[in-house]
Structure 1
């Protein structure tokens, strides 16, 4: 089985997929795709030209949620989705919440303005960043903090793709110069610290942080 993962290093969705691949011990070839300038014909791999996309023996899957679900079926150990139906539904819910609602704030508002815009030679909209930090992120963090109260993981007693999705978005929040306030969100801050200390995340964060510092000075 030949596996290729199409994506870019700083994408939280690509990072999530890479962490899942690493935890499952799957070898793959990484193919760089600039989401702002995808190569001609990339829509045949990813219909919306988004990242990540996965190629397996000439067949393609787009979207990190679809890819992670596929990987769980083909490589069931370690299990990153629960067998209990209700818990499975909650994992799918949290992944959706993080990939859409949280991503719009942490990645597309904070990280994109503070990092991506500078990388492509454009101005950071700091007013938008500050509005997001003050108004739209706090209720999302508060909900996650409450859900993590007295728990090590978002769902069940072991790590799932929900935890990986959340931690991946919060890497971008960190790259954007922000951190979870442990005084306001102690459970979310502790969860993030635990997840980012895992080897696949720790290695990725170190490498990405070095790249950002080198490029941005």
Structure 2
């Protein structure tokens, strides 16, 4: 089986996919795609020209959720989706909530302005960052913190793709110069610390941090 993962390392959705692939022991080839300047013909791989995309023996999948679902079906161990029907539904809900609602604040408001815009030679919209930090992020963090009260994982008793998705967004939040206040959100902070200690996350964070520091000074 020949597998290629198209994307950019700093994308939380690509990182989420890479971590899931690593946890399942799936070997793959990385193909760099700049989401701000996709190559001609990339729409044949990813119709909306987004990252990540996966190529498996000449067939293509776009979107991290679709790719992770494919992984679970073809490589069921270790399981990243619960077998219980209700917990499966909850996992899908959290994955979507994190990939859309949380990502809009942590990645597209904070990380994109403070890191990506500078890498592109453009101005950071700090007003937008501060609005996210003071207004739109706190209720989402509070919801996640309450969900994690007395729990190690978002759903059930073992790690799911929802936990991976959340931890990946928190990497971008960190790259954007922010941390989770453990006094305000102790459960979310503890969850993030545990997840980021996993080898695939720890290695990615070290490599990405080095790249950002080198490029941005």
TM-score category, normalised to shorter length: over 0.9
Q: Secondary structure at the match of 1:54?
A: strand
The aligned runs of 1:168-187 (5 Å cut-off) are 168-187=168-187
Q: Secondary structure at the match of 1:60?
A: strand
Unaligned runs of 5+ in 1: none
Corresponding residue of 1:2: 2
Give the Cα–Cα distance (whole angstroms) in 2 for the partners of residues 162 and 127 of structure 1: 30
Give the Cα–Cα distance (whole angstroms) in 1 for the partners of residues 35 and 104 of structure 2: 16
Give the Cα–Cα distance (whole angstroms) in 2 for the partners of residues 164 and 111 of structure 1: 18
1:37 offset after TM fit, Å?
A: 0.4
Corresponding residue of 2:77: 77
Give the Cα–Cα distance (whole angstroms) in 1 for the partners of residues 103 and 131 of structure 2: 15
1:141 offset after TM fit, Å?
A: 0.1
> Are 1:21 and 2:1 matched, yes or no?
no
> Are 1:134 and 2:134 matched, yes or no?
yes
CA deviation string 1:45-80 (max 9, x = no partner):
000000000000000000000000000100001000
How many aligned residue pairs are there?
A: 217
Corresponding residue of 2:165: 165
Give the Cα–Cα distance (whole angstroms) in 2 for the partners of residues 126 and 138 of structure 1: 17
Q: TM-score, normalised by structure 1?
A: 1.00
Give the alignment's Cα RMSD to 1 decimal.
0.3
Q: Secondary structure at the match of 2:164?
A: helix
1:40 offset after TM fit, Å?
A: 0.3
Q: Secondary structure at the match of 1:135?
A: helix
1:32 offset after TM fit, Å?
A: 0.2
CA deviation string 1:188-211 (max 9, x = no partner):
000000000000000000000000
Corresponding residue of 1:106: 106
